[in-house]
């Protein structure tokens, strides 16, 4: 039987690349740089499957090719707001993602960010490495206690729930949830969480707000200057979801004028570029380079999950993670 042809747009963990190469007729992007829109268009004319990541902009410009050969876009990652689902559907392409396998690691990183910004760990490390530390002192780099505080979780899917688990059971935090659909009572009970009806109702109650909603047009700039003004003046915003969910200029202003306590970001609207106003915020802003799922375990599991979806698809079954 002829093996389906597959293009992988970035380098993946070696064990997954080997299995892919065994099971499919694979073309690897050995240069490991994001493909240009014209390279993507050429790929849709040539390969049965394209395996993109968040660094590939798969909008109508790339997808609108006559006589596309590609039948499935099996995304390496849970978020898929970089793929235009409607256009993919129009071209008869299935789209899958990789949920579950990265939820714990992404929640671990959100906790890391929350602790870093509250306890001023980034500032402390920079100071020490710059040779500026002159010893212990009662008023030096005094931060904010995390344990027992109120955590608002925006988006209560798998990652949001893993965040709640850590914050509630490890840190005794009180959990308030905003989710676009009602959360099952037994799920809320697990974390003694309360669901509120609107984001505007959540923001003024929280000491920390952690974003776990999908990206895309519906959540674009969900956190804007009006909503930042609803936060307590000593509250912290954590974003491990998608950069576009936050109005970055508005956030930078809130940080500069200290109308909120601080922010910690793992994702940005125009990665790898950082908004110039955010770059100027040093004291109360922690930034990481999109590391949410960056563990050996999660990245390997994501790859094998893509493989499962491909096998299902080419064996004529419904892929378990089909989103379009
Ligand atoms: C995800 O899985 O969505 C990560 O952010 C990488 O794309």
319: in domain: no
Q: Are 224 and 111 found together in one domain? A: yes
Q: Are 59 and 138 found together in one domain? A: no
Q: Is any atom of ligand 1 closer than 6 Å to the C-beta of 54? A: yes
Whether 322 is catalytic is no
Q: Are 194 and 245 found together in one domain? A: yes
The number of domains in the chain is 2
Q: Is any atom of ligand 1 closer than 6 Å to the C-beta of 78? A: yes
Tokens of 201: 């109702």
263: in domain: yes
Q: Are 214 and 282 found together in one domain? A: yes
Kindly report, residue by residue over 246-265, the tens digit of the pLDDT. Answer: 999 999 999 999 999 999 99
Q: Are 52 and 108 found together in one domain? A: no
Q: Are 67 and 120 found together in one domain? A: no
Q: Are 264 and 200 found together in one domain? A: yes
Question: How much is the ipTM here?
Answer: 0.95
Among the listed residues 2, 64, 98, the one whose alpha carbon sits nearest the alpha carbon of residue 297:
98
Beta bridge mates, 265: 239, 287
Q: Is any atom of ligand 1 closer than 6 Å to the C-beta of 111? A: no
Tokens of 200: 């505007």
Distance 59 CA to ligand 1 centre (A): 17
Q: Is any atom of ligand 1 closer than 6 Å to the C-beta of 241? A: no
> Looking at ligand 1, which atom is closest to the CA of residue 80?
3
Reported as a pLDDT band with limits 50, 70 and 90, residue 1 is confident
Distance 6 CA to ligand 1 centre (A): 20
Its domain, for residue 220, covers 103-287
The domain spanning residue 86 has which CATH number?
3.40.50.720
pLDDT at 186 over 90: yes
Tokens of 309: 């979806």
In this prediction, what percent of the chain has a pLDDT beyond 90? 98
Q: Which helix (H) or strand (E) holds 63?
A: helix 60-63
Q: Is any atom of ligand 1 closer than 6 Å to the C-beta of 77? A: yes
Whether 242 is catalytic is yes
253: in domain: yes
Which residue among the candidates 125, 192, 218, 271 is catalytic per the annotation? Answer: 271
Q: Are 181 and 205 found together in one domain? A: yes
Is the pTM above the cut of 0.80?
A: yes
Q: Are 229 and 262 found together in one domain? A: yes
Which residue among the candidates 227, 290, 299, 305 is catalytic per the annotation? Answer: 290
Q: Are 53 and 63 found together in one domain? A: yes
Quote the pLDDT of residue 230. 99
Q: Are 156 and 134 found together in one domain? A: yes
Torsion of CA 286, 112, 260, 276, to 10 degrees: 20
323: in domain: no
Q: Is any atom of ligand 1 closer than 6 Å to the C-beta of 102? A: yes
Pocket test for ligand 1, best of 12, 54, 98, 211 (most atoms within 8 A of CB): 54
> Looking at ligand 1, which atom is closest to the CA of residue 102?
2
Kindly report, residue by residue over 149-182, the tens digit of the pLDDT. Answer: 999 999 999 999 999 999 999 999 999 999 999 9
Whether 158 is catalytic is no
Is 194 strand, coil or helix? strand
Q: How many contiguous H segments (helices) and E segments (strands) does the chain have?
A: 14, 12
- What's the mean pLDDT in 255-281? 98
Q: Are 52 and 129 found together in one domain? A: no
């Amino acid at each position: 039987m002829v093996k389906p042809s597959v293009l992988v747009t970035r380098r993946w963990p070696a064990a997954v690349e080997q299995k892919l190469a065994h099971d499919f007729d694979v073309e690897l992007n050995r240069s490991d740089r994001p493909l240009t829109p014209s390279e993507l268009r050429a790929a849709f004319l040539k390969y049965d499957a394209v395996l993109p990541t968040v660094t590939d902009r798969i909008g109508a410009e790339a997808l609108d090719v006559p006589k596309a050969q590609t039948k499935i876009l099996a995304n390496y990652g849970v978020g898929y707001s970089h793929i235009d689902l409607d256009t993919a559907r129009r071209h008869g392409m299935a789209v899958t993602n990789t949920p579950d396998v990265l939820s714990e690691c992404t929640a671990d990183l959100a906790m890391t960010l929350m602790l870093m910004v509250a306890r001023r760990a980034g500032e402390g490390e920079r100071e020490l490495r710059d040779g500026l530390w002159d010893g212990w002192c009662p008023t030096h780099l005094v931060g904010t206690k995390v344990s027992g505080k109120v955590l608002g979780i925006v988006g209560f899917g798998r990652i949001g729930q893993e965040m709640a688990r850590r914050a509630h059971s490890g840190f005794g935090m009180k959990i308030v949830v905003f989710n676009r659909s009602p959360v099952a009572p037994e799920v809320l009970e697990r974390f003694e969480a309360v669901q509120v009806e609107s984001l505007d109702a959540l923001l003024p109650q929280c000491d920390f707000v952690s974003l776990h909603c999908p990206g895309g047009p519906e959540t674009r700039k969900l956190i804007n200057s009006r909503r930042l003004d609803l936060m307590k003046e000593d509250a912290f915003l954590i974003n491990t979801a998608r950069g576009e969910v936050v109005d970055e200029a508005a956030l930078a202003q809130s940080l500069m004028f200290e109308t909120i306590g601080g922010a910690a970001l793992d994702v940005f609207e125009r990665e790898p570029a950082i908004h110039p106003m955010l770059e100027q915020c040093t004291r109360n802003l922690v930034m990481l380079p999109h590391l949410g799922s960056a563990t050996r375990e999660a990245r390997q599991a994501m790859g094998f999950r893509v493989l499962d979806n491909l096998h299902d698809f080419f064996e004529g079954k419904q892929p378990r993670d089909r989103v379009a």
